[in-house]
Structure 1
Amino acid sequence: MEQIILIKGANVFAPNTLGIKDVLIAGCRIAAISDNLVLNNTNLPITVLDGSDKLLVPGFVDSLVHYIGGGGEGGFATRTPEMQLTDATLAGVTTAIGVLGTDATTRTLTNLLAKAHALETEGISTYCHTGSYEIPCRTLTGNITDDLILIDKIIGVGEIAISDHRSSQPTIAEIRKVAAAARVGGMLAGKGGIVSVHVGSGASLLQPLFDAVNGSELTLKQFYPTHINRNEALFQAGLDFARAGGVIDFTTSTTDYDIQHGEVAAAVALSRALQAGISPMQLTMSSDGNASLPVYNVQGELIGLEVGKVSSLLAALQTAVLDLNVNFADALTSITAAPAQVLGLKHKGQLTVGKDADMLLLNRQDLSLHTVIAKGKTLVSNGKATVFGTFEKPQHCATGG
């Protein structure tokens, strides 16, 4: 029998403001959003949640996660660990997109796809991109377009790298061919078919993407550049990219070293971009969870390494709203409706009747996490995980709330 959950009296953000509403979940879908919902059939097994003094919001869509770890820039011992289920759920992430990065040799697409299926079985929604930093792209079928058409979980390509010493130094023609294959595959499969682009601190910034579009039938919306808050020059280039019609992504995982050496914190970048007049639907934040966060000196030598955290996504939302006075709906859009739209995930990122029942209850005062519901099932209650990954230890998986 399908689970029925009735959330009473929450302040609903869809992510636009709906006000105080009741929300009914039937199975894995949102069945109703209305005032004072009453279910007359008392024989049904119904779970009623008190939403008073809570904000009810869509589950977060994290558009860039390294499910199976990443890194290795400092040798085999620096390969970062895999993500576990509660790394996502205790951060409010109910939909995550897995990617490969620098290493596509010891980290493989088959492993990434298997991990995506595992996390889906454990409770959240997962998707993948084919390819990695390098061009030509490694694929599962031998062809980008075929991967998108034939493999359900693959929705795009990436993250390919530009303006970075770790990239394959792709030509403009190579970037165009990747984007064209992604577009055709996305069209034929009914998917987003975007190209996720890792942007380094190289002097070319986002120019390779402008060059790829110029003189072709491609548009900037085909590309989804990330790490745009890496430094001030890239941030300014990102604003130009958005003004020209593109969508830009800010990375929430960071290090003290990076902030001290010019990185713009994601929450600050979001605030400044909104103040610059960029539409909230053109601005996203992602965690880069479980990625390596390498620190290089001016000679390109590795001098430090940390690991990205999915939890940084919720922390960035809190900072943006509570410390920087960013409008809550705008900040929320950057991790719900905006990434869902650019990725082509039509059933994610919004609280609307008929869409997937992925939602969170946040405590109103401090935006801490209270409840996580993914695909209609409660995974976190009162700030503590109630569902765990297969190899997780429950006593180690709790957070405040």
Structure 2
Amino acid sequence: MKSTLKLIKNAEIYSPKYLGKKDILIGGREILAIGDNLKIDSSVEHETVDFKGDYLIPGLIDNHVHIIGGGGEGGFKLRTPEIMLSDITLAGVTTVIGVLGTDGTTRTMTNLLAKARGLEEEGITTFIQTGSYEIPVRTITGSIVDDIILIDKVIGVGEVALSDHRSTCPTFEELAKVISQARLGGMLSGKAGVVNVHMGDGTDMLSLIYEVLDRTSIPIRQIVPTHMNRNPQLFSEAIKYANIGGFVDFTTSTTEVFLAEGETKCSKAMEIFYRKGILDRVTLSSDGQGSLPEFDGDGHMTGVGVGEVKSIFKEIRDSIVEEKIPLEDAITVATKNTAEHFKLDRKGEIKVGNDADLLRLDENYNIVDVYAMGNTLVKDKAPVVKGTYEK
């Protein structure tokens, strides 16, 4: 799947910052030039695409995807399936960070690593987090630090569960040790070493995280709590956490039941953070292929859904169309913000030297084309590259 030289003409480029109507030259996997009236000698083999004023934005980064499936809270038959390439690319996502979830026994770190490598061979960029809900953390080498330093795709730890009836109820010492090990591994490898923390509906909320921050010298941005829009109390904590300098992650996959029970719709959460001037401290993730279990007051599961990667772009589009957030601000939550926080070099921005991970949007903000590392994976809303076992 070799990339030829590509020249995109007349694109309204949002880098996410608005750059104006420009041309962009792609060679191999990277952006070679951005400018006005770019030309290529006719003797040089290349492909030219005229965008005719359509929008060009960075490919989305989904920082929380159960790429080998998740779930199983209601028994083996409720284990969700592995994700397929087109589930990701049709959603406009060109980079994913894979995680385990509730099940660190039948879903293993080696499975996760193998799936990530497979998806990258099929055409997108992948990373993974070591660990699952429980502490002690599941690893590949037996050490958080060693995983992060020695395995290229491992960039941090996650998702460790807090304030949830499915967590292992870690102590301050246990959680602080995990975060400090992740930080050390990140420092020694040049990676982010961020710990992704699953937040449940428990009343403890962020109390253990605040205790770690109060009693240690660990920086606040070493910890990213996710699902922070799941109920009104946790959403209020998200505002507080962001206001003191932390990053928060909102989950885009949801159900009508969750929303009726008080979950804050992501597009609305974005609008509130935008109005407060703290949208630069927000990332969005889909929880793709994770189960969306519903429980009664006694903790018995009453229903289950499956997270979808496509929910990220839906919420971004809703934030633009319904909440009136400017396009260049709306797309930062799954592009620039994510790339900077997780230290994903060459990702998240349209600029010379970065990977050519790009989305073409029409005038109504619908995804038309998807480019990943310079290759066209989706054209005219249809996949032109499919996963190995996709029909």
Same fold? TM cut 0.5: yes
Distance 1:77 1:67 in 2: 18
Distance 2:98 2:228 in 1: 19
Alignment partner of 2:157: what SS?
A: strand
Distance 2:55 2:283 in 1: 20
Q: Which amino acid aligns with 2:204?
A: S
Distance 1:52 1:246 in 2: 40
Q: Paired residue for 1:154?
A: 154
Q: Which amino acid aligns with 1:99?
A: V
Cα deviation, 1:235-258, whole Å, max 9, x if unaligned, reads 010111001111001100001100
Matched-pair contact (CA < 8 Å) for 2:161–2:197? yes
Q: Which amino acid aligns with 2:73?
A: E
Q: Paired residue for 1:135?
A: 135
Cα deviation, 1:312-345, whole Å, max 9, x if unaligned, reads 0111111110111112111100010001111110
Cα deviation, 1:3-25, whole Å, max 9, x if unaligned, reads 11111011000001111010110
Q: Paired residue for 2:93?
A: 93
Matched-pair contact (CA < 8 Å) for 2:3–2:374? no
- Cα drift, residue 196 of structure 1: 0.5
TM-align CA RMSD: 0.9
Matched-pair contact (CA < 8 Å) for 1:206–1:238? no
Alignment partner of 2:184: what SS?
A: helix
Q: Paired residue for 1:201?
A: 201
Distance 1:78 1:202 in 2: 24
Distance 1:73 1:155 in 2: 27
Matched-pair contact (CA < 8 Å) for 2:57–2:350? yes
The residue correspondences of 1:173-322 to structure 2 (distance < 5 A) are 173-278=173-278, 280-322=279-321
Deviates more, 1:82-91 or 1:199-208: 199-208
Q: Paired residue for 2:4?
A: 3
Q: Paired residue for 1:397?
A: none
Q: Paired residue for 2:13?
A: 12
Matched-pair contact (CA < 8 Å) for 2:21–2:53? no
Distance 1:65 1:273 in 2: 24
Q: Which amino acid aligns with 1:381?
A: K
Q: Paired residue for 2:386?
A: 388
- Cα drift, residue 2 of structure 1: 5.3
Q: Which amino acid aligns with 1:38?
A: K
How many residues are treated as equivalent by the alignment?
A: 390
Q: Paired residue for 2:112?
A: 112
Distance 1:265 1:304 in 2: 20
Alignment partner of 2:161: what SS?
A: strand
Q: Name the % identity.
A: 47
Distance 1:85 1:27 in 2: 21
Find the partner of 1:369 among 337, 352, 367: 367
Distance 1:329 1:297 in 2: 40
Q: Paired residue for 1:73?
A: 73
Cα deviation, 1:269-308, whole Å, max 9, x if unaligned, reads 1111111221x32111111100000001111110000000
- Does residue 30 in structure 1 map to residue 24 in structure 2? no
Q: Paired residue for 1:359?
A: 358
Structure 1, unmatched stretches of 5+, are: 394-401
Structure 1: which 4+ aligned runs deviate by more than 3 Å?
none
Q: Which amino acid aligns with 1:20?
A: K
Structure 2, unmatched stretches of 5+, are: none
Alignment partner of 1:213: what SS?
A: helix
Distance 2:39 2:61 in 1: 31
The residue correspondences of 1:34-45 to structure 2 (distance < 5 A) are 34-39=35-40, 41-45=41-45
Q: Which amino acid aligns with 1:260?
A: A
Cα deviation, 1:346-365, whole Å, max 9, x if unaligned, reads 2100001001110010112x
Cα deviation, 1:152-176, whole Å, max 9, x if unaligned, reads 0000100001011111101111111
Alignment partner of 2:180: what SS?
A: helix
Distance 2:184 2:52 in 1: 47
Distance 1:153 1:313 in 2: 23
Q: Which amino acid aligns with 2:349?
A: Q
Distance 1:45 1:382 in 2: 23
Distance 2:265 2:256 in 1: 10
- Cα drift, residue 49 of structure 1: 1.1
Matched-pair contact (CA < 8 Å) for 1:162–1:200? yes
Matched-pair contact (CA < 8 Å) for 1:210–1:220? no
Distance 1:352 1:30 in 2: 7
Alignment partner of 2:165: what SS?
A: coil
Find the partner of 1:379 among 368, 377, 380: 377
- Cα drift, residue 220 of structure 1: 1.1
Q: Paired residue for 1:329?
A: 328
Matched-pair contact (CA < 8 Å) for 2:226–2:248? yes
Distance 2:173 2:18 in 1: 44
